[in-house]
Amino acid sequence: MEEPRRSADRDLEQARAAIERGEMRHAADHLAGAIALAPTLPETHELLSRLAARSGGALELFPLEQNAFVGTVVARAHLLAAAGRPEDGLPLLFAASGHTPGRDWAGVPWVTEPSLGVRVEPGLLARNVMQLCTAIGDPDAGNTRSMLRPYLTVLRHAIAAHPEHALLLGAGSALARRVGEPETAVEWAQRGARARPSKLAEIWLGYAYRSAGRVGEALAALRRAVTHDPEDLSVYADIAATLADAGRMEDALAWVERALAKDPDFDCAVHTAHRLRFRADGKLSHLVALADFAADHPDDTHEHTDLAECCVNTPWLGGVPEAARGDDDPRRRPPSTEPATAVSVERLLRIARVTWPHPPAAYDAALGLVLVPPEQLMALLTDPPGSTEDERRASRVWACLGLLHHDTDEPWMTSVRRRRLVELAVGGADAITEAAMFALIAYAWVDPAARTDVTGLVTGRLMNLAGPARKNRPPIAWSVARLALATPDLRDDTRELATAVARAEEERSRPRIPRQRSRKPKRDRRLLLRWLTR
């Protein structure tokens, strides 16, 4: 927080000097920068008022152009409010909050004035709220909630002025549950459903009940939504997810099967079905099938996070697991004697993370490493950046993922990228081994034609390092077993061996990947887009 404040102070100092020189556009640029860094800083608003007084309102200094800078948009909103047009400024703040929800764009007095809720057109306010809700979590996390509460105050004032406006009540309910006020969400959704019964009203009511922990009432509302529109299969998926969360997996799967019977390729139903089937039996094949579906349907109706939810906190599926035991140093001849350059290290560190959403996402994220030559990626395997053992292991993983993006014009089986990674995977039993194996496995997730080859390689490594003939397993055995469990199309007997090895090692050290928060899918995005385009 100190650095943005110092940067904002520097912008303010230059803006003051520019005003004194009469360079109003230069001053406006620095004020936009300051307000982007510290949107509620009193000094910024005082100087903005001074600029407006010297420039006839100054609106022309903060134009709304395509891809406008967020600071420019917010400054214009405040100038409109100062000119007696707060209802015109409010949508600009909504846009800023949708762009960066964690910034306190609306934490200024004019936003919470009761008169604003009366002046703003209720339908426009409802649409602004609905668009904001698509950009934030459901419910949203921690600090962001406080940044959005001024909008809830606007809604309270607007609903008081328009107590029967169904769309405003429903949109207000959606925001209320996102900022952690489930009872308010229920009250407004109930009133909206009474004022104008509809599918959307029942969906909002169902979500509100669910956020309040009233599962039975949530299911009843969602079932009523189905009666309004039996062909909206996204509601079937929501019912299935709600039932599953309530522990009623058999009923949940029945609902999702009903949706698939109507449309086997409906994205919400497919994603939900694979996620629930995985929850029911734990078979990796469901997640691989989901990844294949997502790859074949890049234009889904909205963003889905089902695959990431299933992979989170699972070794290798969701990130590099903590080391089971042993040291991090490779016990083999280094793959490269060429030192890594500072540029290569920087490019790797821009991408390298200990966690990732799922293997296909890790593969995609490594595309930027095509700018790092293969010889440099091999050097990064020898001397990986990182301050901890797990960070260095992660750096090796990303270096190997980067190798996948070189020589991609060559057929997989005869490619240089395959040869490099196979040599790394079979040439030892250390951190380089697991890094290369994961890269091969990630490629098997994104290229079904490579799965038989990769599965054979992984099976061979597992048998060599942890098979029945092995009396003493090396420290890497647990990691290799977990890698095998992340491999598509592994034979059942091999999966059973990997499971036994992993469990035996986990009883000794219980390694895990760092916990990360799983975000709920934004399930009403598709409905919102349909509503807005009617």
C-alpha span between 323 and 430 (Å, rounded): 11
Of 35, 34, 37, 17, nearest in space to 26 by CA: 17
CA distances to 147, 289, 436, 512 from 339, rounded to whole Å, are 47, 41, 20, 32
C-alpha span between 99 and 331 (Å, rounded): 48
C-alpha span between 417 and 362 (Å, rounded): 17
Determine the pLDDT at residue 6: 86
Greatest Cα pair distance in the chain: 85
Residue-by-residue pLDDT tens, the chain, 534 positions: 457 788 999 999 999 999 999 999 999 999 999 999 999 999 999 999 999 999 889 999 999 988 899 999 999 999 999 999 999 999 999 999 999 988 999 999 999 999 999 999 999 999 999 999 988 877 655 678 889 999 999 999 999 999 999 999 999 999 999 999 999 999 999 999 999 999 999 999 999 999 999 999 999 999 999 999 999 999 999 999 999 999 999 999 999 999 999 999 999 999 999 999 999 999 999 999 999 999 999 887 778 999 999 999 999 999 999 865 444 576 666 676 789 999 999 999 999 999 999 999 999 999 999 999 999 999 999 899 999 999 999 999 999 999 999 999 999 999 999 999 999 999 889 999 999 999 999 999 999 999 999 999 999 999 999 998 888 888 899 999 999 999 999 999 999 999 999 998 777 765 555 555 444 444 443 333 333 333
- Name, in order, each residue with C-beta under 8 angstroms of 368's C-beta and a sequence gap of 6 or more: 347, 350, 351
Query: Backbone phi, then psi, for 319, in 5-degree steps?
Result: 155, 175
Alpha-helix residue ranges (DSSP H) falling in 297-355: 306-311, 342-351
Query: Backbone phi, then psi, for 461, in 5-degree steps?
Result: -65, -40
Alpha-helix residue ranges (DSSP H) falling in 68-165: 70-82, 86-99, 114-119, 122-135, 142-161
Determine the pLDDT at residue 135: 87
CA distances to 13, 25, 78, 386 from 20, rounded to whole Å, are 11, 12, 22, 49
Determine the pLDDT at residue 534: 34
- Name, in order, each residue with C-beta under 8 angstroms of 205's C-beta and a sequence gap of 6 or more: 173, 186, 189, 190, 192, 193, 221
Residue 252 burial (10 A CB sphere; 0-12, 13-18, 19+): buried
pTM score: 0.83
What is the SS3 string spanning 156-196?
HHHHHHCCCCHHHHHHHHHHHHHCCCHHHHHHHHHHHHHHC
Determine the pLDDT at residue 513: 56
| Structure tokens that stand for 298 in this block | 């890049």
CB 206 within 8 A of CB 225: yes
Partner residues linked to 355 by β-bridges: 319
Residue 251 burial (10 A CB sphere; 0-12, 13-18, 19+): middle
| Helix, strand, coil content of the chain in percent (nearest 5) | 70, 0, 30
**Residue for token pair 């200024």:** 108
Give the side-chain half-sphere CA count within 13 A for 528: 20
- Looking at residue 511, its amino acid is P
**DSSP summary character for residue 326:** S
Q: Is the previous residue joined to 139 through a cis bond, with omega within 30 degrees of 0?
A: yes
Determine the pLDDT at residue 143: 72
Determine the pLDDT at residue 142: 60
Residue 515 burial (10 A CB sphere; 0-12, 13-18, 19+): exposed
CB 151 within 8 A of CB 145: no
C-alpha span between 189 and 221 (Å, rounded): 11
* Helix/strand/coil for 523: coil
C-alpha span between 183 and 431 (Å, rounded): 51
Residue 344 burial (10 A CB sphere; 0-12, 13-18, 19+): buried
What is the SS3 string spanning 200-245?
HHHHHHHHHHHHCCCHHHHHHHHHHHHHHCCCCHHHHHHHHHHHHH
Determine the pLDDT at residue 69: 95
Determine the pLDDT at residue 334: 64
